[in-house]
Amino acid sequence: MSTSGIDRYDDLFWRDEYEPITESDEFLQEIADKADLPSLLVAIAAATGDTAVLTEDLRPPLTPVDTIGHPHGGMSEAQQHKARELALTGLRRLRDERITSVGMLSDTAVTDVLGYLTGGNADWSDSLKHELDLAEDKSAAPDWRFEDVAEGRRFEVLIVGAGVSGIAAGHRYRQAGVPFTMIDAADRLGGTWQKNHYPGVRLDTPTFGYSYSFAQRVDWPHQFAEGGEIDDYLNTVAERAGLIDLIEFGTRLVSSRWDDEAGAWIVVTRDAQGAERTRTFQAIVSAVGQLDIPNIPDFPGAERFRGVAMHSQEWDDSYDWRGKRVAVIGTGASAYQIVPAIYEEVASLTVFQRSAPWMLPAPTYHDNHSEAFAWLVRKVPYYGQWYRLWVITQGIPGRFHTVRAEKDWPGAPLSVSATNRKVRDELIARLTEQFEGRPDLLEIAVPSYPPGAKRMLRDNGVWAKALMAESTTVSTHAIVELTETGIRTADGTHHEVDLIVYATGFKPSDYLDGVEVIGRGGVEIHEFWKGDARAYNGITVPGYPNFFMLYGPNIGGVVAGSLHFMLERAGEYSLEAIREVLDRGVKALDVTPEALDRFVEWVDRENRLMAWGQPYVRSWYQNSVGRVSQVWPYTNAEYWKITEHVNPDDYDFLP
Ligand code: NAP
């Protein structure tokens, strides 16, 4: 794999050359039959330079996806037939003309390709160009260098956290040559992916929607990557980006105080030995993550329990759970992965369910990518990257249409609209099939809230299978206390266990918990927030100059969009904000309270229209004052629009 194209192509995984196609027509026909057609047609068009194959009549209709995705974006049989013929002709051409590479596309070709993939929705194009290396105006990497705009000026940034967001920001800051120090409290990078190594951990969104625009790995083995694969990926990215040696591991941010006079943050960090150090930075980028502070319920008697207890994120690999009596508390995304991974090897398993999860069908959840897919990414130039772009394109509208609430909908509180009820009925039909012969389990498996009101899981039947196993018990009674040997529930049952797994989630609304951030006027940020974390574009907070949050409040998409896009954009926006400061020769910029209020009002309005914003719904999407402070209710394309440029009208500039 060559990296020689890095400067021209904004991709740490860029390949100049692909393996030549040498196979027979029959083999190519098989490939055309198995390929994702929109991705393949676009790949052929780009590699041959002939976008005429992307005709209007072959545009995938992008039929709205209620539960299970539609192959080829919902193309009709007739469209698929014609597309396969064109694909076969194209594959033969790549073979016969020995086309093994692809280069920059003309603006017209980019328009043709994006017009084809988006069904002509020009509104999405700019956000998609952020992901497309073959577009000359891929506007993701900085087009400026620190020394060109601020030669000789002391300006050092502190990036806090070396997880998914911190790595993205570090890469862009390094490209711009902005001096920075990166710290992470852990002794390894990877954030959530180095912390979560419980049995069964893997992505619950498609792998191809979960990577950086600047590091487009395409040879992923699994359709939903295992946790270790993401961890390896992040390490590889950090290494290729030259970041690893720049990270101070075992270093925690303790406090930061803005000094108006100096125009800088006075920062205290603590190392693994507890030694504190005070230093000065002109800006802070907080990339501390969101689902990171374990929520461990305060059950009476917890200190009495003599067995082993651990939170899913704090899994102790040295403890052998096999053959033990195990309790798993919680039925969210983590429990959903742990339970099927362990149930066959434990002596007994008791699952404590407070509310049942909705699960979207994902029949291939544990599957590898097919051999045909592996062939395509090796031999058809840029096929894997086109496939990634296509996954991201389909993720723009995502499933918003299934969670938007109809006014005065009579089906509440079980559904929020006719489409939502249709989804509910479809998912219940699946559960009915899965729990055949176990009406007791079916009864408790059907959630009593609308689909989408809480995060939906991906299901290929393993959850039901694990719950139906002879050695598994599901308890829906409230836990009243822990004893020396187990868990007592409200029905009076005592469950004897050796291991308690708290799969009880996190405290996502406690942004910057454990860190003191004192802004202008001496106000600590948590005092400013009063339990309701708010940030303009999820990034900046009035009174906290040159302080940028990545994965801040209201940034997480839950039924649509790419999280990496959101996090990368927040990092790139912070870099552009710093450029504004440097260009203007001022000390700092500080977002106005009006801009923040406007933003919060805008996201609140939309969140209130969603399943998760209904007054009868409670989930981790809401904070302690009941506002939905975690969720981004719009599309990636909308986030592109609001972060494309730093609007000076929204900021005060501090001389
Ligand atoms: P979660 O979704 O918040 O689930 C926590 C579970 O614990 C819920 O079932 C909750 O019940 C239950 N619970 C909490 N307090 C309880 C109590 N006092 N008594 C009984 N039950 C209690 O947490 P998670 O499963 O760790 O997942 C959190 C988020 O992390 C996910 O939504 C997802 O965004 C992310 N995640 C992603 C992946 C992935 O991509 N691979 C994997 C894991 C997690 P209620 O529902 O009634 O509150």
Using alpha carbons, list the distances in angstroms from residue 550 to 298, 341, 403, 413. Answer: 30, 32, 26, 34
Query: Is the minimum distance from the CB of 477 to ligand 1 under 6 angstroms?
Result: no
Tell me the whole-structure pTM to 2 decimals: 0.96
413: amino acid identity, one letter: P
**Percentage of residues of the chain with pLDDT beyond 90:** 97
Residue nearest to atom 27 of ligand 1 (CA): 333
pLDDT mean across residues, the chain: 96
**DSSP H helix total and E strand total for the chain:** 20, 21
Task: Look up tokens 């055309």; give the residue.
Answer: 32
Query: Is the minimum distance from the CB of 531 to ligand 1 under 6 angstroms?
Result: no
**Percentage of residues of the chain with pLDDT beyond 70:** 99
What value, to the nearest 5°, has the Cα angle with vertex 642 and ends 637 and 644?
Answer: 85
Query: Is the minimum distance from the CB of 455 to ligand 1 under 6 angstroms?
Result: yes
> 359 alpha carbon to ligand 1 midpoint, in Å?
13
Of all atoms in ligand 1, which is nearest to the CA of residue 479?
19
> 229 alpha carbon to ligand 1 midpoint, in Å?
22
Nearest to 396 by CA among 20, 614, 130: 130
Query: Is the minimum distance from the CB of 617 to ligand 1 under 6 angstroms?
Result: no
Using alpha carbons, list the distances in angstroms from residue 619 to 77, 630, 631. Answer: 41, 10, 11
Of all atoms in ligand 1, which is nearest to the CA of residue 203?
41
Longest dimension (CA), the chain: 75
pLDDT of residue 3: 36
Q: What is the mean pLDDT of residues 471-485?
A: 98
Peptide bond into 20 cis (omega under 30): no
Residue nearest to atom 46 of ligand 1 (CA): 355
- List, for residues 348-378, the tens digit of each pLDDT value: 999 999 999 999 999 999 999 999 999 999 9
Question: In angstroms, rounded to a whole number, what is the distance separating the alpha carbons of residues 385 and 18?
Answer: 13
SS3 assignment, position 389: helix
Query: Is the minimum distance from the CB of 333 to ligand 1 under 6 angstroms?
Result: yes
> 331 alpha carbon to ligand 1 midpoint, in Å?
6
pLDDT of residue 4: 36
Query: Is the minimum distance from the CB of 331 to ligand 1 under 6 angstroms?
Result: yes
Q: Taking the mean position of all CA atoms in its chain, how far away is CA 148?
A: 34
Contact predicate 189/244, CB 8 Å = yes
Query: Is the minimum distance from the CB of 315 to ligand 1 under 6 angstroms?
Result: no
pLDDT of residue 139: 83
Query: Is the minimum distance from the CB of 328 to ligand 1 under 6 angstroms?
Result: no
Question: In angstroms, rounded to a whole number, what is the distance separating the alpha carbons of residues 66 and 77?
Answer: 20
Enumerate the β-bridge partners of residue 248. 183
> 329 alpha carbon to ligand 1 midpoint, in Å?
9
Of all atoms in ligand 1, which is nearest to the CA of residue 455?
32
Of all atoms in ligand 1, which is nearest to the CA of residue 336?
25
> 333 alpha carbon to ligand 1 midpoint, in Å?
6
Q: What is the mean pLDDT of residues 312-336?
A: 98
Phi, psi of 211 (to 5 degrees): -150, 170
Q: Residue 7 — very low, low, confident or very high, per pLDDT cuts 50/70/90?
A: low
pLDDT of residue 264: 98
Query: Is the minimum distance from the CB of 292 to ligand 1 under 6 angstroms?
Result: no
Query: Is the minimum distance from the CB of 207 to ligand 1 under 6 angstroms?
Result: no
Sheet with 251-259, strands from edge to edge, namely 276-281, 264-271, 251-259, 516-518
pLDDT of residue 243: 98
pLDDT over 60 at 6, yes or no: no
pLDDT over 70 at 113, yes or no: yes
Enumerate the β-bridge partners of residue 283. 157
Question: In angstroms, rounded to a whole number, what is the distance separating the alpha carbons of residues 614 and 608?
Answer: 6
Ligand 1 pocket: which of 504, 616, 623, 630 to mutate (most atoms <8 Å of CB)? 504
Enumerate the β-bridge partners of residue 359. 457
- List, for residues 418-465, the tens digit of each pLDDT value: 999 999 999 999 999 999 999 999 999 999 999 999 999 999 999 999
Query: Is the minimum distance from the CB of 209 to ligand 1 under 6 angstroms?
Result: no
> 503 alpha carbon to ligand 1 midpoint, in Å?
6
pLDDT of residue 333: 97
Instruction: Region of 388 please: left (phi>0), alpha (psi -120 to 50) or beta.
Output: alpha
Q: What is the mean pLDDT of residues 583-589?
A: 98
